[in-house]
Structure formats: C-alpha cells, structure tokens
Structure 1
C-alpha cells in the first residue's frame, strides 16, 4: 500500500471541495482523510499507487464548478496509517505563521438545483429565501475567518436542526459540508417590522406593488427596490436617494425577459447567467408600444441599460410575486458606502425606504454588485465586487505588497505568492464613512488572506484619502504615478513582461511634474516609464469643481487652451455657446483664467469629453462623475461620421495633440446646422484617429509594438472599438483590461504590479 500526502491550492474552500475529494477517493477505493487547513485543502490517501495518481489527476481536472485549482501537490505520507479504513472528512485545523496566502471564495448566485427546490411545494425548503448548497450561496460576505467552517462564519449563530445536520454529514448529499446550510426550522428568517417569514415578504411585495420603495437586505449589503416601470416610483427614489441622473440597475427574472428589454449576444448571456451574476450593460431596444416596460427615469438620456438576474432565493421570490422588472440599486445615500449593519441601515435609509425587508443573518463584509460590459467578445470590468471579488488574479509578485488605490471608484489590492486579491469596490473616498469602509475592508481581507505586505504602493496625489492613509502605515511606501498604474494594470493582467506602449485616457491624475495629466502616451515597463506623448493642456476653472461643471471646462478650452500655434476660436463661433451661459459665470471664468487663479492646467482626455458634451448642449452640470462623457457616447450611438480637424505637433520632445482645431471645426459645423449626434460621433472618430497617429509616431521612434490601454475613457465602447481597430490596422498588439477594472477601480492592482516589479529589480 502507498500512502501519499496531498495539498491543494486555489479557491478550494467554500466550494464543495472536501465533499468532492471524499467522493473521488471513495470511487477509487482509497483510504485516508481530508481537511481544510489554513486557506488550503490537505489530507492523506492510501491505496494502490496507480489509483492515487488517478486521484490527483481528478482533483486537477474535475473539480467543482466554483473551485479554482491552482496546484495539486503530492508528497510522502505517514508510513503507518493513523486513521481507520475508509475515507473521512476531518474537522478543519487552524493555519500557522508562514503559510502561503489564502484564497477567499466569492459569493455565488443560487444554482438551478436550489431554485428547483425553492419552487417545489413538496420540498421542505419550498419558498425558503436563504436556500443554498455547496454550489451556491453566501461565501465572502459571511466569512469571519479561515479555515472555512460554519463556526467561523456569521451562520454560527444558527445551530443545525436534525434534518440539516443529517444532510451536512451525508457524503451523498449535495449539502455535505455546505457551511451555510439552513432551512425554515433552523436558519435565518425574514422580518418586516413585527412580521416574519411569508408575512414579511407579502408586506414588501405590497409596498413595491403600490409604488413604494423597499430597503432589502441582500448578500453584501442593503439594496433599494422599486418597480422599474413606474416613473413616479423611480423619480421618488432618485429624489430621496439624492441621485438625480446616474442610471439604475434593473433586475429581471430570466434571460427571456432581459432579451425583451435589450440586445443580448452569447457573451452577454453567459455573463448574465454565470454564478457571479454581474450587472451587464446592454444596448436597450427602442420601445414602440404605448407604455415602456422601463421608466425613462431608470436611465435618463442613455441608450444602454444595466440588467442582471436574481442572485438569491429572496430575489426570485420577489420577482415571482411582482412579475415585473425591478430597480435594485445600492442601499445608500449618494456618495456613501452601501449599508450592511441593520442599525446603520435603519438610520441612513429611513428617509429613503417605505419599509425594510431584513433578516437576522449578519453581513460580515460589504460587497456591492459587480458591473461589466462587452465590446464584441472583449469584456470590460467596470466594477469588481460581489461574485468577482476577492477571487485572486495572477500577478508576478514574490514579496508581499499592497496597493492603496485611487480616490474615485476605489479598491485596494493585496498581493503575494503569484496572485493579487483586489478588494471589493468601496466607492469614492469622499468622506469619513467611505474611508472607514475602506480601512475596515482592508484589515479584514488582510486577516483572511494572511498577507502581511512589506511595501505599500500609493498614488502621487497628496490629497487622495488613500494616499493619506498610506502615509500612516508603518511600511515602506512606493509612490506610483496614476497613469503608469493604469497601463501597468493592463500589462500585468495580460502577463506582459517586456516594455510596452501605454495609452492612458482618463479624467485627472497627478503627473510626476506636478501638473494634472489625463491624456498620456507612455513607453513603459512595470517598474518605470517615460512620457512620449500627451494632450495639450487647458485650464480647469475652479479646480475640482470643474469636474461637476462641464461648461466651465469648455470655457477653459475656449479661452485658455495651451498655445501650440493654432488659431483661437473666433468670437462668432464661441458666442452661441457663451450666450447660453450665465453672464456672471462667463465673466468670472474669464478673470480666473486671465489671472491664473484656481485654474490648474490639465492634459485630460476626460475633460475634453466634458468640453465637447457641453458645447453640444448635452451636459452643462454633471449629476455624477463621468455623466457628460456617458451622454456624449449615447448621443454618438452608431451614427456615421466624418472626422473633425485635428493637429499633432512636436513640443519639447513630446508628440502633443492640440484639440483647438478640433473644437473650432466642431463649432463651425454646429453653426452650419450639423446635428449633435453626428458631431458626437465625429468627435469619437477624431479621437481614435489622433490616438492612432500618436501611437504611430511613437512606434516610428522605436516604441514597443504592444499597446496597453488604460483609464476610464476606455469604458467608452465606441472609442475603444475605433482605437483597437486602427491600432490593429498598424499591425500592433492591443490589450485592454478584462478582469481588472479599466478605470480607477484597477489602479490598486497596477500599483501592486509596479511595487512588485521594483522590489524584484532590487533583488
């Protein structure tokens, strides 16, 4: 008899891996044991050598659907058996210092088997909202510590009833060692004021059905729910939540319903139905009936809508009863973190919700919904949260490091042992509540993964709360320029090891020269970069306030753009725009620019989008960050266009795009009566042409032929498609982030990649 020790690494806890190991060993007639140890699965097998080899092969190739096996390692086991004949699952053992970093399973949407039981009147879990098994249910949101066992989750306060205990102990049951297993007799219960169970659900259904708003306790935090087809309800949710324009996500019961609302391809359908259940941004159908299924207030002015399928049994029950699409959005006030604590939710959402559908299972970790979109088969992650985070991504990292992230769309990253854990989306670090949510999430994930970084990478901007937090940590600090982090994130995700050409287009980031950047062409490695191209600068009247006032940004471009030999717009071209603004505001901006008072200059692609949106009358005051660019993309649609004038010049050793000729041409064509939609499309096309020209000139001077795209502007599907097409036509390799958010949510991963590369270079 051969005895071998086995060690399995990856996402192998909370995914039914021990039951899978048990069944595999039993099928092969092997004796031994298996246990969760630290963040891994370990055990011993005894039997014929050939059967043990087959056992190891099956662990690698036929693992459960939610598992991610990175390695199966065999070593010599005990010479004499220390266990009885047969195979068994042992109680988990705690980890010990010096073990490799541990991997945390994300939450998974309800599986088909559990959904069938939920709707089966003969099943004892019929209509039980918290139904789950080894293939689905809460994971990251309930885990308090590892190894992953019920006693180290928020389910520890719910002792198993005899029926659930029998399932938990039965190797033939799909709930064998399913840690969150529960039923109506022993598990969490719904509540609505003094009502419980079905009565609570009926109260919530009645509230939504009569035009009200419900605060629902979801997997990773509270959600606000109302009827998506009710204009008054959606408008009232906007008013109470303080969210005047940002689009809402809509939950629908199935793909068939989603297909009636939006265009769905095969890649979108796979994402919608995946265990991750992200919100997927889709092109909505033009409705020709009398009453649209979605109120215009759901996505004002936009041609795309975010749809997702139910995540939990509770969501399915609501949709079954209401039989209509539902707005399901983050349970928070504008710019605050999503509420997770019951008392916190009652305090912050009392003025928003008409009632609370809650339950008694605590949420340990805050996870908002993930958001993705597709350009052809290219996936773009906009928000990495529930279902995706904190599953690790590959990263060439040896010594443990962390990335503190940016200010907007904040995430952090912990990295060690060849992989990086991007923490859940926090939101914008604008105030104390979001800052505290970030630090609490960081501390908890550091505890769970066991990663103790020796270095902490952070942004150059001293005003970012993430930078200020980094300065308080007793670690070696590695400052990383914002746009280098963007393109490094893309390169690291795709395993690019050599030099590459980075194109970083976003709103604002502090450059290493102390000015604000945002339209950058970089020749880079993971450890460093040099700037080879940029957009011309223009003043931002009011500094950060200009982000919320695209009309001010437009005035900055018209009145104070960087002089590169271009003709200024003639007054008769600019007058139609300035005459539509408050005269006092125009006069004040003129003085600010003339005196250079609170007018930092920026080479920003994002602010150029704002300028064009304002000039076309699409957005003068933004209700949320990026609204002007979103409306400009929506206006462009699939419209055919003729490019606008453009100019690329050589300035102080850099290739510089001067947008003034573009704006002059746009204003002239607007005065001639060309439609805003045609001009919006023309601007997108022009920017793609400019990008291709900047890249071509850099390549002609010896820049690498691998191009990494990064920054929030590449969330824009039309821009991304045009840029990729034109760069591919030059024979270049073009990469863009897929699993890592392309916007500021991916900054922390890029920072960690840069820190790891610099540390490796010192070794």
Structure 2
C-alpha cells in the first residue's frame, strides 16, 4: 500500500555518470521495490532520473544504498537530490521509457562475458547453450552497437532483432538478470553466425553451430579464418603452426612486426609467458586488453611458432572476450582445437580494421581462407587495446581502444566544445566539453582512404554518444599531414571556426598534464620519432618548459641530417651513418652500419650528406635509438615502425643486471650532443663488448642526460615536476630508469597511464591546448 501523502516524502534523484547500459534502472527498481517505495526511474540525456516516494526512513535508506551496491559496470560521477511534495499518485515503482532532456550521460565500454553468461553458454540444459551472443546487463557489447543516446534498444544495432516471447519476458522481469538488458537475444531471435569460404576453396558455407565447427576445423588444419569480433574482423590462425603463421605474415605483408595471440584460458597463457599477479588480473578482467608479457625462455610447455613475435622477448596476449571466441576454442566434448590463436587486426598493412561483412569479403580477399561472420552490425570500429604492466604494478596503455572507449577523462579545466583530430600515426581523435574529454578508438595510420573514412565515422559516432557539437577543431601543425588537411576541411563545416594547429611535442606534454589533472607548468621531456618543429625541421628529442598556454624549447638533442626522409627511417644503417657524419666520425669499413651498405649506397649517402640533398635535420631521439641499434649491430633494416629501437631495448634488457656503466652525452646550454656517445659505442664495439651491454649503456646514458638537463631547468626556473611523454617512453627500460633517477633527485614525475605516451594520446593534448587558448582570447 502507498503511504498516505501526509506521512510520505518524495525525492527526485538525478544520477550522472556511466549509468546506462549497465543495469542501473533494474537495480534501482529492485532497491525501491524491496523497500516498498513508489515512483519511477528513467533514462534521460543527463543520466538516470529517479522519483521515489514513501516513509521518510525508507526513502533515506534508498538514497543511502543507491551507490553503495550499484551494478559492477556502473560508475557514478555525481548525484543530485531534490525534495518534492508527496503526491500519492503512484501505486508501484516502475521503469519508464526513456525521456528526452538536456544534459549528457556516459555509455560504458564493451566488456567480456560475465561468469553467469559463460556458465549458461556451457550448460546443455540452458536455452542459451552455445549461443554465440549471450549477454546480460553486466557484460557484453555497448559502444560498438550503440547508435545514439540515451541508451535503449531502439538506438542500438540490436533493433534489427525483435525479441522472442521468452526474451521479452526476461527483459520485462524486474528480478531477472536481463531486465532491460538492451542486447538481450537467444538462438531463436538473435544474430546468426555464418561461415563463408573463399571462392575456389572447395569448402561449403555453413551456419550457426556448423559454422563454428567448420571454423575450428579450418584453424586446426592450418588455415586462416577472418573472424568478426566486437569492433571489427580479426585474421586468425594456429599460433603454434609455423606454416600457418608464416603464411599469414606473407599474405598481410607485415614484415617482422609481432602478432598478438589469444589463448583459450589463463592456464595456456602461463604455458607460454611469465605472468605476474597484476598481469593476471588485467588479463581476466572485463576489459580484456592485449597485455605485453615476457615470453618463457625455459619451461614453456606450449611452443609458439617462431614467426609469431620474431626478435622480441615479449608476446602480446589476450583472453577470449566474446562468446564467439570462447566457442571457437571449443567447449568440453568438442574436437581438439588450437589452444593459442594468432589474432591480428583484419586489414592489410596500413588500412583500417574491417567492420562491414560485404567489405570484408573484398578487402580480405586473398588474406583469408574463410570468413566467420554474423549479422549484428558494428556501429563503430574498435580495435583491441594494448598495455604493459610496469615493474611497480602500474599500467601503461599503449593503444587505448576496446574496453576503454568511450570512458571519459576528467580534465582540470572547463572546455568549450572541441574536436582534436590527432596525428597521422596511431591516430585517435578526441572530443571534449565542460570538464570531460573522450578519446576515440584507435584508428591507425592516416595514409589510406579507408583509414580517413574510419576516422570520420569515429568522430560521428563519438558525437552521437556524447552529445558534443564541436565549435573548434585542433590538429597537428605538420602541413603535410592528412589529419591536418582533414581538420581544415572539418573547420569549414563549423560556423566562424578556423582550425588551431598545435605543435606536436607541446601536445605530448599537455596530454600527460591533462591525464594527471595538472594546471601548473612542467619540465616536459618529449622523446619520439618525428614531429614538425617550429623551425621546419624534424623535432623529437625535446625538453620543453610548458603549460597549456605555451612552451619554450629549453634543450634538445643536437640535430643530424636524416638522409632520404622516410626511406632513411626504414634503414637504420643510413641513420647511423648520418649521425656519424654529423659527429665528424669516419665511416670505417669495420663498422657494422658501413659493412651492411653496398658501395653504391655509401656513395649516394655521401653525396646526399655533403650536398644536403634530400636531407632534413632532425633532433629525434627515436632516430638516435635507431642509429645506435645499427651501430651496435642489432638492426640495420626495419620492416616495421620502431623495429630497430624495440630490438635495441630487448638487447639491453637481456644484460641489464650485468653492467651499470652509462655513456655520457655532452650537455650544453641548449643542447644534448650524442657525439661522445657515438664515439664510445664505436670504441666498445671494436673492443668486442657485446651488443646487449652497449645497448644497456646507451639506455642508461640517455636517462642520465635527461636528469642532468632537468636539473639545469630546475635551477633556472624553480620547476620540479617532469612530464615524460612521446613514443620513446613506451620503452620500459628507459621510462623506468628516468623515473627512478628523477625521483631520487627530488623531482615529481608524471608518467602516462590510461592515455598512451605515443601519438595515440596526441589528440588529448591538442584538445586542452586549443580549448585553453580559445578561452583566453
């Protein structure tokens, strides 16, 4: 019975945060019903609106318990409470249809199946036994199926699948786990799987359970299968089959870049890699990113094919994060299948990940032997996230996408509505308004029409889900970047808007500041491979005195010519010769970098450097790592981005505890000259010092140079906070050594966590710099 109006109170409660698509309304309904309260709950554009009425003590109890026991995926950012006159008009507590209002709510990322859904998947007595799309309010797709907000089934790609009567009963039952679960479906009414063989393969198409059985058999036979996941297609093969792995590498033209793998279960991960307690927790958590793990060099009971991650001591590993993946490995009683699969993005090198089924048949033709597809549309591409766990147990995200997007980042300032389009490498855009910013999913490298189109789709999707209508656009200053041109075009669509172009390394430092909520100036150490400098040269070894309003270039790596531009980057031996030339050191025939070059190549390089033809000056620390990698005899030709630097880091790690010597840079008033380091590398190489020891001495030398320059900056400015950013700080050894030495010297050190240090985090820095600058106008 409803309490008499004179004895009752009524409160309106608004809940902001990630409270849609997580079972929050059903949770509120159960809580209110258990307390015999009346009223309603509804999704709105601002979050969740609740009006609750009943005895004062019970209403108080409701408000006290509202956030203490909320669903696992819910993140409450704020609660507003308003007293209202009791009406006595409600007989029960109900869930109302979504209301229209001003404001913004937050959608959760896609998550892996919960334990309850996995139990149903494996239970022969359950009606969702082997259902490839089992989900509930606590798990499953959200971001990649949502087409608008507020979040309801009508604004998801599940709107194409009317619920059967059994699912409709669950959806409408307040005590059911699927009460108002928008992706709810079953084998009778949900999406369907299908296997499509490549033309001329002799295989026949299959559907549903037969499609999975056929796909498992193909993988066990060493074939390559394109598998449709949450945010796009993967190309999968048996990671223990050398012929299959090499075949996939050749078809994709991937060079020597490592593949990520997916293991059937945690026990299989531990058979191929060393796993700490923190890494284990990340692997089995709801986000299910790729985690970089150290490979087992001894005691491995499951052998990966050599072509999975050649030359790397690490392997990127993830666990199944959709029911399709779980079924692909097989349930008890299924025929044996591979326990570890290569799972690489479904695309050709340089293209965006494929999401559309018809497009997949065209773009992946010649790559896959068959396609395991389904008819649930992917609203936005979303590649796998990648991270590593540091020695101190903290996480460093290297690619922020599935499992993280569209989780917002809280900012230390209020922003006007803005869009930042990032850079051309590892592109990810950002939008922001008020005190929140949203980094979009990883797009990739902006050198292909498919990638540019994917970026446009990502922007539209993020605007729909956040309600942000940009008033200004920010981009990198590089005039030749595709992202720069896109920003110019995008700004033409906005009233009275001109794009703001942000210096690359300033954006890196600002992204670290914004992630840590800092507004005061810092000493910013921005080390990466390339970035357009104020003087028109290639920067990348920068120490900046910076805040959001501007920066001063305090110090930098002494420039050297980059012969051949991009062609030079693919040939670390040429970078080494350019560095030797700048340092006045001879190209002696006994140097590994000289020995690998042909006489014709050496002659062309000498003419280029002498005449400064097709050469641009660069202060890039990333290019110095490449050069030293070649000088030490580690890597002379790079088949993928940063290969030489990664292999130099791996070499250093293998001998890190054996030697504590550090090479010494020459530190001047505004420069950091590597000439003494180059001389020491050459001398050590000639003395027969092993390459891993040389690599370690170089890493330690760079870290000590960073500390010395930061000391000079502190003495001149009084600043004592250092921000480390840029792709070079994805190097675990360097970041660890810099952090330890700086901390020991009394500096506060800002390191990236959820925001990538590489260009995947660039858009966040562009966003806050541009928005801050416009606010000051």
1:5-404 equivalent positions in 2, closer than 5 A: 5-38=12-45, 40-77=47-84, 80-81=87-88, 84-95=90-101, 99-193=102-196, 194-287=205-298, 293-320=303-330, 321=334, 322-376=337-391, 377-395=393-411, 396-404=413-421
Q: Deviations over 1:279-337 (max 9, x none)?
A: 00011111457x85211110000000111111011111112352511111111111100
Describe the SS at the equivalent of 2:219: helix
1:426 aligns with 2:446: no
> What CA distance in whole angstroms lies between the structure 1 residues aligned with 2:509 and 2:582?
29
Q: Report the alpha carbon displacement of residue 81 of structure 1 after superposing the two structures with TM.
A: 4.9
Describe the SS at the equivalent of 1:701: helix
Q: Which residue does the alignment assign to 2:465?
A: 448
Describe the SS at the equivalent of 2:243: helix
In structure 2, the gaps of 5 or more residues are: 1-7, 197-204
- Which range is displaced more, 43-52 or 531-540? 43-52
Describe the SS at the equivalent of 1:507: coil
Q: Which residue does the alignment assign to 1:539?
A: 561
State whether residues 666 and 675 of structure 2, in contact with CA within 8 Å, keep that contact through their aligned partners in structure 1.
no
Q: Deviations over 1:563-608 (max 9, x none)?
A: xxxxx32444864531321111111111111111121101111001
1:658 to 670, 673, 686: 673
State whether residues 588 and 594 of structure 2, in contact with CA within 8 Å, keep that contact through their aligned partners in structure 1.
no
1:685 aligns with 2:681: no
2:608 to 564, 587, 592: 592
Describe the SS at the equivalent of 1:585: helix
> What CA distance in whole angstroms lies between the structure 2 residues aligned with 1:413 and 1:57?
36
CA change 1:62–1:92 in 2 (3 A) is same
Q: TM-score, normalised by structure 1?
A: 0.96
Q: Deviations over 1:609-664 (max 9, x none)?
A: 1101112232222111111111111111241334353233324xx2x111111011
Q: Deviations over 1:481-533 (max 9, x none)?
A: 11111111111111112111111110010122222110111111122111111
> What CA distance in whole angstroms lies between the structure 2 residues aligned with 1:594 and 1:481?
30
1:632-643 equivalent positions in 2, closer than 5 A: 632-639=648-655, 640-643=658-661
Q: Report the alpha carbon displacement of residue 151 of structure 1 after superposing the two structures with TM.
A: 1.3
Q: Report the alpha carbon displacement of residue 175 of structure 1 after superposing the two structures with TM.
A: 0.4
> What CA distance in whole angstroms lies between the structure 1 residues aligned with 2:64 and 2:770?
36
> What CA distance in whole angstroms lies between the structure 1 residues aligned with 2:105 and 2:98?
14
> What CA distance in whole angstroms lies between the structure 1 residues aligned with 2:381 and 2:449?
16
> What CA distance in whole angstroms lies between the structure 2 residues aligned with 1:574 and 1:57?
75
State whether residues 505 and 713 of structure 1, in contact with CA within 8 Å, keep that contact through their aligned partners in structure 2.
yes
> What CA distance in whole angstroms lies between the structure 1 residues aligned with 2:773 and 2:59?
42
> What CA distance in whole angstroms lies between the structure 1 residues aligned with 2:224 and 2:174?
44
State whether residues 573 and 671 of structure 1, in contact with CA within 8 Å, keep that contact through their aligned partners in structure 2.
no
Count of residue correspondences? 748
CA change 1:503–1:240 in 2 (3 A) is same
State whether residues 353 and 383 of structure 2, in contact with CA within 8 Å, keep that contact through their aligned partners in structure 1.
yes
Q: Report the alpha carbon displacement of residue 261 of structure 1 after superposing the two structures with TM.
A: 1.5
Q: Which residue does the alignment assign to 1:710?
A: 725
1:671 aligns with 2:678: no
Describe the SS at the equivalent of 2:307: helix
Describe the SS at the equivalent of 2:577: helix
State whether residues 573 and 668 of structure 1, in contact with CA within 8 Å, keep that contact through their aligned partners in structure 2.
no
State whether residues 613 and 619 of structure 1, in contact with CA within 8 Å, keep that contact through their aligned partners in structure 2.
yes
Describe the SS at the equivalent of 2:540: strand
Q: Deviations over 1:216-240 (max 9, x none)?
A: 1101001111111111100000011
> What CA distance in whole angstroms lies between the structure 2 residues aligned with 1:575 and 1:679?
14
State whether residues 109 and 406 of structure 2, in contact with CA within 8 Å, keep that contact through their aligned partners in structure 1.
yes
Describe the SS at the equivalent of 2:529: strand
1:573-584 equivalent positions in 2, closer than 5 A: 575-584=591-600
2:667 to 649, 652, 655: 649
Q: Which residue does the alignment assign to 2:454?
A: 437
Q: Report the alpha carbon displacement of residue 370 of structure 1 after superposing the two structures with TM.
A: 0.4
Describe the SS at the equivalent of 2:209: helix
1:597-616 equivalent positions in 2, closer than 5 A: 597-616=613-632
Q: TM-score, normalised by structure 2?
A: 0.94
State whether residues 667 and 705 of structure 2, in contact with CA within 8 Å, keep that contact through their aligned partners in structure 1.
no
State whether residues 644 and 666 of structure 1, in contact with CA within 8 Å, keep that contact through their aligned partners in structure 2.
no
> What CA distance in whole angstroms lies between the structure 1 residues aligned with 2:543 and 2:651?
27
1:505 aligns with 2:527: yes
Describe the SS at the equivalent of 2:619: strand
Describe the SS at the equivalent of 2:701: helix
> What CA distance in whole angstroms lies between the structure 2 residues aligned with 1:462 and 1:643?
42
1:618 to 634, 652, 670: 634
State whether residues 654 and 692 of structure 2, in contact with CA within 8 Å, keep that contact through their aligned partners in structure 1.
no
CA change 1:621–1:131 in 2 (3 A) is same
> What CA distance in whole angstroms lies between the structure 2 residues aligned with 1:549 and 1:572?
18
2:500 to 478, 488, 500: 478
Describe the SS at the equivalent of 2:117: helix
> What CA distance in whole angstroms lies between the structure 2 residues aligned with 1:102 and 1:422?
16
Describe the SS at the equivalent of 1:670: helix
Describe the SS at the equivalent of 1:646: coil
> What CA distance in whole angstroms lies between the structure 1 residues aligned with 2:659 and 2:558?
24
> What CA distance in whole angstroms lies between the structure 2 residues aligned with 1:465 and 1:246?
24
CA change 1:430–1:666 in 2 (3 A) is same
1:742 aligns with 2:757: yes
- Which range is displaced more, 344-353 or 55-64? 55-64
Describe the SS at the equivalent of 1:334: coil
Q: Report the alpha carbon displacement of residue 131 of structure 1 after superposing the two structures with TM.
A: 0.4
- Which range is displaced more, 332-341 or 47-56? 47-56
> What CA distance in whole angstroms lies between the structure 2 residues aligned with 1:89 and 1:478?
45
